[in-house]
Homo-oligomer: A and B are copies of this chain.
């Protein structure tokens, strides 16, 4: 075992791309670095993984320390390990991305507030380390995810209008969507609860408010994965396909 000692001189960190959505803009939360290296530059929030800490736990910890939020969508994306990416030594980083409702985010103690800020994703261009690369990978992943699963709701306040949802999809996919087709698609998924209320205080026709039906979604997912043995192969395949489609291609 002593022969392996040379390998046990590395460290790893988690870095977190925290997406939020506000004022029609897709944003990420960045921290201004207070120390070397890259002092004064904006960077993704991240930190070393503790010796006895699982990776997912570390990502959750970093997120919670910064935003005070738990139970948000969090997913591992990719690991970056160029040999020279960190000036302190060999440090690889496991990138995570998370989706938070900016409405839930109450800026933490002033000490942090000064350092942490939301940045429009389209304007971010110069980050510490290889963080731009990490951001790009996570953004790609988000684009894929939003077409695949109804994660958009994670970024909106609990009640929202269809137009707001469409704007969110447009911001993520960086494209325009057809209003009527978008609504048809979304409503056909049957994952929205029509709150039968409308907006107030807007200087135009107020829109209906909807809520994401998480119970239905969870149930739906459970069914999709729970291949019971009763059905014929054909029927099963059909149902699975229908299920896939209902969720896939949330837009267009």
Contacts and interface: CB of A to CB of B under 8 A. Distances in A.
A191 interface: no
Given A8-B11, A10-B10, A233-B176, A82 B54 contact: yes
Contact of A49 (B49, B81, B176): B81
B12 A9 contact: no
Contacts of A48: 4, 7
Interface stretch (A84-92, A100-108, A120-128, A215-223): A84-92
Interface string A25-36: 000000000000
Contacts of A4: 11, 48, 88
Contacts of A83: 51-54
A55 interface: yes
Nearest to A8: B11
Interface residues of A, number: 33
Interface in A1-15: 1, 4, 6-12
A88 B176 CA distance: 53
A163 interface: no
A79 B96 CA distance: 11
Interface in A108-128: none
Contacts of A49: 7, 81
Nearest to A14: B81
A252 B92 CA distance: 40
Of listed A10, A53, A54, A90, residue having the most chain B CB within 10 A: A10
Interface of A: 1, 4, 6-12, 48-49, 51-55, 76, 78-79, 81-83, 88-90, 92, 94, 175-176, 233, 237, 241, 252
Given A10-B51, A79-B79, 10 more contacts: A6-B51, A7-B11, A9-B9, A10-B12, A49-B81, A51-B90, A53-B83, A81-B94, A92-B94, A175-B237
